[in-house]
Homo-oligomer: A and B are copies of this chain.
């Protein structure tokens, strides 16, 4: 696979192989596919990809991706501005939006506190969150942060900052057994906690 008798092909294979989850075999397959596309079609493809770095911006309020200075979620008058959902990444915003169960606004932290990876509070959008909570009279922040050790540390740290700033209500995502999961395969900690944190069952009439 080392010599394709074409440097142009070789460079395109390298380019595709630099994408996450794409090996050299798949990269070659993608490059060979592109060979047979028209200039126009491949131009549309590369332009769309290039705009991700040249034109896409981050919302100055919530740090979510945006086509303009402020993102469409922050601009939407139908969204609750008093209820913020704090997430680690853009991907989490997209995942929560997909559920269709949240009508508040977001704040993207840009990561979580992780001493091992050298990420401290100053590397995250915590200051802008605190500022926003004060200025916009936010009433509740939902911490939609992964339930890992680093996640718990982050939740603790951010909650303290928010409490100092006078925010009354902080919540975390409900924790328990996953919908559709089998009890047999649920880890002990989740299972144990979900027994202690059991909820009353209401019989629908």
Q: Which residues of A contact B (CB under 8 A)?
A: 1, 3-9, 11-12, 14-16, 18-22, 26, 28-35, 37-39, 41-56, 64-67, 71-73, 90-91, 93-94, 97-98
Contacts and interface: CB of A to CB of B under 8 A. Distances in A.
Contacts of A66: 5-6
Nearest to A5: B72
Contact of A46 (B28, B33, B49, B93): B49
Given A5-B64, A64-B5, A72-B5, A42 B53 contact: yes
A98 B6 CA distance: 14
B34 A30 contact: no
Contacts of A41: 53
A56 B29 contact: no
B12 A38 contact: no
Contacts of A72: 5-6
A43 B52 contact: no
Q: Which of A1, A4, A50 has the most CB of B within 10 A?
A: A50
A139 B44 CA distance: 46
A52 B9 contact: yes
B45 A49 contact: yes
A54 B47 CA distance: 14
B15 A65 contact: no
A157 to B, nearest CB: 24
Nearest to A52: B34
